[in-house]
Structure 1
Amino acid sequence: MKNSRDDNKPQGPNNITRALIDASVDRGLREIEEDPKRSIRKLTDMGRMFIKGRFMDEVLSIVQDLLRNDDSPYYEAIEQMLRNTDRKNLKDFGISFGYSGLTYGGKVIREHELSLPYHIPWALTLRINPTLKDGLSVSELESCVRQGTAMGIYCYFIRLSGAITCIGRLMDLVKQHPECAFVSLLPDEPLNPVQVAGIKECTNSMVMFQNRGAATADNVSAMKKNKILYGIYAVYGNEDAAAWYNDQKAEGLAELNAGINLLVSDDTCSKRNGAKVAKYCRSLRTHPEYPMILFDLAGDAVQINHIISEDECYFELLENGDIKTTTETISDFRHTTSLDQLFTIGLPRENPS
């Protein structure tokens, strides 16, 4: 079923503002090569001038405080990313995520929610498994992205499982939406040179590989060689959540030398354990012990949404079309990828105006 919003063309982020941010960030990244610590602090200060919004104000304020310490492990994490990543990739992804997603997009979301009977998440998590019969297709994911940008959603987490066969089409989707930021969690399969070249063209994206996966070392090596922005993700469940929130696993994750790392709760993980892991991630970010930045996918998405629009919501569209929110998994909605219908079902507002 097709949503009437699907064909709406959003006005989009301000091109002049984005161009000014682009030029300033580009200059800042060049200066970092000359004087890393001073320039990183300067770039963060500049971010507070250009990238506004409830969430980014809070984040950049925390980062400024942390970077006043010359021994902060964040400097090592940032320098790793700068050393291993093409400047344009860092710039395009950062601006799409920070300005389009959290500043401009947050404003649009708040405006839309005033007249809608449902909440709008700041980011969508979309899952696809090309080996699954009657599962979601790349075309349906692209429809979700078109609808989402019309609502103010400019950040997308794509979880690819089963096989890596559709990675080329996914990267085509990413290239078609340069105003958006994409984080793609890839299955544990080796990338071939053609696939690596396709990913490199998508400068508004980050790819992530499984923690300790059999193909991870080779894939990370290919990312570094081609200066592609990458991170590491780890899936946890009830059986190992405590090992994470009791700080028994983070050091091993840091040894992989990825500046950005993501924890993802599996579909059986309890809300209680997920909340504990998310709390641990927030604590580790404000009191860093390792040269990495650690996030929890669902927990931090909820926290960001609360700051942006005072709503605590999370939305994940599963491979089979089911809806996963903070409170439940809703089945039997494979017949539609209309975000208007899916948000009405999964994210209803209690007292819509």
Structure 2
Amino acid sequence: MKQDMNRMLIEATIRRVLKNIQESPERAVRNLVDLGLEFSDGRFQKQFLRTTQKMLRNQESAYYSLVRNVIDTVDPDILTTFGVNLGYNGCTKGAKKIREIEAEQGFNIPWSLSLSLNEEKLVADPGFYPDLLRQGVSLGIYTYVLFTLGNPEKVIPLIQGEPDCAFVFFLRGHQITDSFLAKMKGIKNVMFAVYDNEHAPSACQMLRESKQLYSVYLRYTAKDKERILSEEWFESILPMKPAFVILRTDEHDQPELRRSIYQHVIAVRNSQQYPFILMDLKYDVLAIDRIVSDGECVAGFDADGKLRTHEGINGEERFNIFSNSLERVLRAIQVSN
């Protein structure tokens, strides 16, 4: 009951700030961060908010432009719900539960879970993914990264079924249609991530017009390194006005490439030069997990149910989510390490 009351107080504060933010967004955001620090009791929130507080002392920070863009264009109910689900449920309430279970039962739990959804399984076994999310929530996992190459409308019931979770939904631009956005109306716990190709600008415009929270992402390989390091790439993204720009790669055999890209990500983020937040999906999720939890654990599952970690894919049957419970897979990871 106390946790529910905490959420109610946080939501009420955020809604009040958003309602009165137009007059001076800069001052309102600084006040919100200060207030968050005063009442925050989570390890990740404190570190994140202290970093944010330090950045916002820079009056020339491009992040103030980001704030104005988000406030002006995103549905305030989405900002509130997604933000509270991610920050409070995911990084406070959920993190506390994760640490308790880890201490009592001796296996590591990720603070977020990535799922490449199998469209055939969504249709043939409609209860599987909802049950998987319930298993995750029971372990303290409230943040989910979703991928699908199929019809995204089939994923909507999955998202609707867990209104207390935060979902980051990765899609290609051609998947974002008027029909899909119409069916997403009323769903407030999602941020979209749009692949950076020729379809991205029009897709971002559609998301913007429907007042959605969205980002742009690039799945990079070695040949994209110079593009990522160039200012021209960032300039090409600016007209799409994303809140985040997210990098991800599957090249686990090139650690030097991944490290150099992440060093660049950190440098760009700290420079506060661009009105979006640059992130590396694997390294930043790993960094958050190290703060949230006492043990390092990053996990997800591909469309065949195979386990994915920051070290690559594991095809052993004991790690396959189609034939094992989530807890059993996580325990198996602990044993194998």
Q: Same fold (TM over 0.5)?
A: yes
Cα 1:265/1:197, change in 2 over 3 Å: same
Greater per-residue helix proportion: 2
Q: Match of 2:11? A: 22
Match of 2:312, as an amino acid? E
1:241 offset after TM fit, Å?
3.5
Q: Match of 1:203? A: 188
Q: How does 1:124-203 map to 2 (within 5 A)?
A: 124-130=113-119, 139-161=127-149, 163=150, 165=151, 167-203=152-188
Larger displacement relative to structure 2 (200-209 or 168-177):
168-177
Equivalent of residue 122 in structure 1, options 73, 95, 111: 111
Q: How does 1:234-249 map to 2 (within 5 A)?
A: 234-241=218-225, 243-244=227-228, 249=233
Higher relative contact order structure (alpha carbons within 8 Å, sequence separation ≥ 6): 1
Cα 1:220/1:28, change in 2 over 3 Å: same
1:273 offset after TM fit, Å?
2.2
Match of 2:97, as an amino acid? V
Q: Deviations over 1:51-73 (max 9, x none)?
A: 43111111111111111122110
Question: Take 2:291 and 2:239, find their aligned partners in 1: how far apart are those partners?
Answer: 32
Three-state SS of the structure 2 residue aligned to 1:240 is helix
Q: Match of 1:346? A: 333
Equivalent of residue 336 in structure 1, options 318, 323, 330: 323
Cα 1:292/1:347, change in 2 over 3 Å: farther
Pair 1:277-2:266 in alignment = no
**What are structure 1's unaligned runs of at least 5 residues?**
1-10
TM-score (norm: length of structure 2): 0.91
Whether contact under 8 Å (2:122, 2:128) holds in the other structure is: no
Larger displacement relative to structure 2 (107-116 or 251-260):
251-260
1:213 offset after TM fit, Å?
3.7
Question: Take 1:294 and 1:198, find their aligned partners in 2: how far apart are those partners?
Answer: 29
Whether contact under 8 Å (1:130, 1:137) holds in the other structure is: no
Cα 1:302/1:295, change in 2 over 3 Å: same
Q: Deviations over 1:189-209 (max 9, x none)?
A: 243323102223210111111
Q: How does 1:72-91 map to 2 (within 5 A)?
A: 72-91=61-80
Match of 2:306, as an amino acid? D
Three-state SS of the structure 1 residue aligned to 2:134 is helix
Whether contact under 8 Å (2:110, 2:298) holds in the other structure is: yes
Whether contact under 8 Å (2:250, 2:312) holds in the other structure is: no
TM-score (norm: length of structure 1): 0.87
Whether contact under 8 Å (2:122, 2:129) holds in the other structure is: no
1:337 offset after TM fit, Å?
4.6
Question: Take 1:62 and 1:153, find their aligned partners in 2: how far apart are those partners?
Answer: 24
Match of 1:17, as an amino acid? N
Q: Match of 2:33? A: 44
**What are structure 2's unaligned runs of at least 5 residues?**
none
Whether contact under 8 Å (1:129, 1:136) holds in the other structure is: no
Q: Deviations over 1:17-41 (max 9, x none)?
A: 1000010000111221111111111
Question: Take 1:183 and 1:231, find their aligned partners in 2: how far apart are those partners?
Answer: 9
Question: Take 2:263 and 2:99, find their aligned partners in 1: how far apart are those partners?
Answer: 26
Match of 1:18, as an amino acid? R
Larger displacement relative to structure 2 (257-266 or 145-154):
257-266
Whether contact under 8 Å (1:233, 1:263) holds in the other structure is: yes
1:114 offset after TM fit, Å?
1.0
Question: Take 1:137 and 1:284, find their aligned partners in 2: how far apart are those partners?
Answer: 43
Equivalent of residue 218 in structure 1, options 184, 199, 202: 202
Match of 1:74, as an amino acid? Y
Three-state SS of the structure 2 residue aligned to 1:124 is strand
Pair 1:70-2:71 in alignment = no
Three-state SS of the structure 2 residue aligned to 1:126 is strand
Cα 1:262/1:139, change in 2 over 3 Å: farther
Match of 1:71, as an amino acid? E
Residue identity over aligned pairs, in percent, reads 27
Match of 2:99, as an amino acid? R
Pair 1:286-2:274 in alignment = no
1:134 offset after TM fit, Å?
10
Question: Take 1:242 and 1:114, find their aligned partners in 2: how far apart are those partners?
Answer: 44
Question: Take 1:47 and 1:262, find their aligned partners in 2: how far apart are those partners?
Answer: 25
Aligned positions, number: 334
